Structure 1
Amino acid sequence: MGIIAGIASGLLGVGGGFIMVPLQFFLLTSLGVDSSLALMVSFGTSLAIIIPTSISGAYKHNKELKNILKPGIILGIFGIFGGFLGGFLASYAPTRILQIFFGIVLIIIAINMFLNKKTGKTKPKIKFNILSAALIGVSVGLLSGLLGIGGGVFIVTILSVILGFSMIESIGISSVFISLAAVGGVSSYIITGLGVNTLPYSLGYVSLVNFFVIILFSIPCAYLGANLSHKLPERRLQEIFAILLVILAIKMII
């Protein structure tokens, strides 16, 4: 999980949550953990892992692209608030509905990636300013906390399709954004899980065992993935992104 999520994080500007959530969920349920608890632990632990993993990728992207830090931080500050709210809402949402919703959203994003053949900068449909950053940051942060993912799968699409950034710029900005947005989400999963009988060696809904084992591999692999992203054609990045989303979406829904 750490290797796959780390490479995906650096390569595609995602936290790797869309990989870690379903894989942790399937692992925990196969070990006999109740599905509701398994999903909450998967969400909370995934967000905790995303923070150091995405920082590793963002560090490499920032060395290559000098214009990603400011927009990433602005979006990320608003994302913290959305992530915190989303994490609280997740503890009250039905498990099966979350799984189906998660899968449907990923399929929609994947279709958009396949159909969007444009690379490089495009004409922005809306201007990037504090108002648009607040709206996008809070909304994506909320989905991040609700679904236990960094929000990169959403923010990369918004940045490249709506705000006019190139794919590689979107990936870099996303890496900065998700390292901040995940902080809000993981905080709420820790708080809401404190009074619950979760797994051994856990902090709320965050499994410390999963966390430390996975980041041993995800942090260095995120740096390698970010390095690779600057060597691949942008269209190829879009196709890889979309294929991964479809596979995981189908798995979550069924």
Structure 2
Amino acid sequence: MFTIWYFIGLILIGICAGFASGLLGVGGGFLIAPLQFFLLKSIGVAPELAILISFGTSLAIIIPTSISGAYRHTRSMDNIIKPGLRLGIFGVIGGFIGGFVASVIPSKTLEIIFGLLLLFIAFNNIVNINKEREEARIPFNWLTIGIIGLGVGFSSGLLGVGGGIFLIAILTALLGFSIIEAIGTSSIFISLTAIGGFISYMISGFGVSTFPYSIGYVSIINFVLIACFSVPMASVGAKMAHKVPQKKLKMIFSVVILYMALKMLSILP
């Protein structure tokens, strides 16, 4: 089943996703999950199993990867620690619930949900590409923290991503965060949120998943190979984020997400 090209593919995913995680504060799940899915299908894994392994393993990889990026961001911005931790507390709960819900929803439905959400976020960023910071439209209090944390956490567990792509859009569009502040806060948030989803995928797939060398829907081989490269690259990406102009960061963020949205919706081959 496993070929040298499969292992090379995992290494390349780790390098790209790790750098993107640190640079954009997104955990890398928006790359790790779909790219693993395409790679698993290429070696003959059934789509229904491939999508769940991709999501579960993605969440496991996101934990050490995002911690690496978050550490680098907090060295430059200590004001992001408190909001990141507060949101993350609720994110863990939402992620745990979302992970269990994902195991009972058809894989094609998950792909369409993921693609449409990414498409919405990409267009929102393109429309606001020239705005460095928007006015806060809602207060940042415990009520909004709970709603946002649970909601983004649920989408994290459901779709196998850290939730950073959704959280950054919310922080910049509704709460008045600058893009670099949102990226740093997101890095902390997703390192916590991914834990809930990861645990639920491990439990729900226990005794069900037929993929070799896996615990539930978490592939040990995929986790080790991708994480070995994504963790150090996340630190590199986070360091680079503080040197890139905010408008360029938004542009990079939008283009990458738009591409992945079209890929998941099967609009692109």
Does the pair score TM above 0.5? yes
Q: Which residue of 1 aligns with 2:173?
A: 161
Distance 2:29 2:239 in 1: 20
CA contact (8 A) 1:120 1:165 kept: no
Structure 2, unmatched stretches of 5+, are: 1-12
CA deviation string 1:63-109 (max 9, x = no partner): 00010000000000000000000000000001111111111110110
6, 16, 19: which is aligned to 1:7? 19
CA contact (8 A) 2:132 2:247 kept: no
Q: Is 1:136 aligned to residue 151 of structure 2?
A: no
CA contact (8 A) 2:18 2:234 kept: yes
Q: Is 1:249 aligned to residue 261 of structure 2?
A: yes
Return the letter of the residue paired with 1:2. Answer: G
201, 212, 217: which is aligned to 2:229? 217
Q: Is 1:30 aligned to residue 42 of structure 2?
A: yes
Return the letter of the residue paired with 1:47. Answer: L
CA deviation string 1:32-58 (max 9, x = no partner): 111100000000000000000000000
Q: Which residue of 1 aligns with 2:157?
A: 145
**TM-score relative to the length of structure 1:** 0.98
Q: Which residue of 2 aligns with 1:226?
A: 238
Q: Which residue of 2 aligns with 1:239?
A: 251
* Counterpart mapping for 1:97-116 below 5 A: 97-116=109-128
Return the letter of the residue paired with 2:150. Answer: V
Distance 1:119 1:50 in 2: 29
Distance 1:159 1:224 in 2: 24
SS in 1 for 2:75: helix
* Counterpart mapping for 1:55-204 below 5 A: 55-204=67-216
SS in 2 for 1:68: helix
Distance 1:203 1:70 in 2: 33
CA contact (8 A) 1:127 1:163 kept: yes
What is the deviation of 1:252? 1.0
Query: Which moved further from structure 2: 214-223 or 117-126?
Result: 117-126
Structure 1, unmatched stretches of 5+, are: none
Distance 1:98 1:189 in 2: 15
Q: Report how many aligned residue pairs link the two structures.
A: 254
What is the deviation of 1:251? 1.0
Question: Equivalent pairs: percent with the same residue?
Answer: 56
Distance 2:78 2:178 in 1: 14
CA contact (8 A) 1:82 1:140 kept: yes
Q: Which residue of 2 aligns with 1:53?
A: 65
Distance 2:139 2:226 in 1: 38
Distance 1:240 1:219 in 2: 21
Structure 1 consecutive aligned stretches of length 4 or more whose deviation exceeds 4 Å = none
Q: Kindly report the root-mean-square deviation, in angstroms, between the aligned alpha carbons of the 2 structures.
A: 0.8
CA contact (8 A) 2:49 2:209 kept: no
What is the deviation of 1:119? 4.0
Distance 2:130 2:136 in 1: 13
Q: Which residue of 2 aligns with 1:42?
A: 54
